[in-house]
Structure 1
């Protein structure tokens, strides 16, 4: 009983002092505590009208992400990793621009915690990448990582994970190439393919089997659009990709990439 009370006290203390965000940009890492970011000279109170995680308007204390990314250039590549293993791959350019779509790091105040994402679920904190006017730059839902723990500058996906690459003999305008780009934007944050990727969230999409091998085409499309409409369970975590996020032409290209990779399995 004493051990339990001690652990609860420790958890309470950690919650009161906030969380730690790690930025791995150069040779050395830099850490930010919640309190430091909440009192940052560039911190602002902002309103996000169409919040991706909460599905409603939300108010945050936030810092423009660009001011924290000292030394990062627009051609660099960044990865934001969440506590649950979600790993969002993002080109740095949109994150650095001052507008019209602007990236903010929302910081949860431990004294005024955000609501849970669902009944019995934790909040999107302690750190959440949100966007003002995301439609202006075509920002996708997977570019809103929440519960972020680390942001790192890395080599592009193509260099780090050659097992993801389609056949180099394909023409430049082949839909499979577009599908590969869409896979990076929409799928790689949760899934690996051929064991390649950093996500720890969802299953591998090629090993041992590719979904194009065991789903009928119409059902696979339905599953991507609305997973709960095909098989419903309370703990499901895969989001749907409606036409506003992934139009029919883009979905065709994504499926072309998956089908192309089915015979390109690697050990």
Structure 2
């Protein structure tokens, strides 16, 4: 067993390797290599305060993501696909902003690899979507995908996965529809619902049972706020959604959507 552990430790300590990043848009497709991105004319050094993944200030060589998305319009939709199966659903409008919250593609330099995310874990590379001034755009932690391998333009979540949609009779500004928007932003990167979604990390949140059906009282909200306070184990992956990330009124809307969907089960 010791030789295997030693080999694993050696692999983790090896320098980061150059990697490809694929960007698939409706009108174009391009694969960038690490070296190309590090030398991109718009690349610069950016400092990220309170980095979501590293929990401290980090400095990266990064390219404004908008510079890699030619022809993309604010009404479009992207998905960021990570090496571990995480699939972040991203509205294009915030990614194209040049003021306020701004999206950057951080590029890991093989000659200067980033630190591991935790002991025994890889780094956030080879590519990591980071934000400067995220508070200005109310950017959630799920909008910081790391270990990204691909960005691809897709139809909206509702168009691709109608099983996620609330009752169509509801008004567009109904609280349930507001909760659906928050579900897409905060949950869909890891979870499916009624079998709908591309994520592979977490369980389906409606079949066979919706969490509103087995968490009594305020325990579901407490679980979302701090999963480890209710179910503690070292391999847990679900992050805590603090009030600064998901204010109480938004948490209520999110739980309202889940409760509504408990009455709209569809088998995958």
Distance 1:265 1:16, change over 3 A: closer
What is the CA–CA distance in structure 2 between the aligned matches of 1:136 and 1:265, rounded to whole Å? 36
Q: Give the count of matched residue pairs.
A: 259
Note the alpha carbon deviations across 1:39-78, whole angstroms, 9 max, x for none. 1111101110121111110000001111100121111111
Aligned residues of 2:16 and 2:108 also touching (Cα < 8 A): no
**Long gaps (5+) in structure 2:** none
On the 8 A contact 1:38/1:62 being kept in 2, the answer is: yes
How does 1:19-168 map onto structure 2 within 5 Å? 19-168=19-168
Contact map agreement 1:77 1:153 (CA 8 A) in 2: yes
The answer on 1:263 being equivalent to 2:263 is yes
Question: Which deviations, in whole Å up to 9, do the C-alpha atoms of 1:95-120 show, x marking residues without a partner?
Answer: 11111211100000112110111111
Aligned structure 1 segments of 4 or more residues deviating by more than 6 angstroms: none
Cα shift at 1:28: 4.5
Distance 2:51 2:165 in 1: 33
Q: CA RMSD in A?
A: 1.9
Q: Secondary structure at the match of 1:254?
A: helix
Query: Which secondary structure does the structure 2 equivalent of 1:114 belong to?
Result: coil
Provide TM-score, normalisation by structure 2. 0.92
What do the CA deviations read for 1:107-134 (whole angstroms, capped 9, x no partner)?
0011211011111111110000000111
User: What are the ranges of 5 or more consecutive residues in structure 1 without an aligned counterpart?
Assistant: none
| CA distance, structure 1, for counterparts of residue 255 and residue 16 of structure 2 | 46
How far apart are the structure 2 equivalents of 1:56 and 1:125?
Answer: 16
Change (3 A) 1:33 1:15: farther
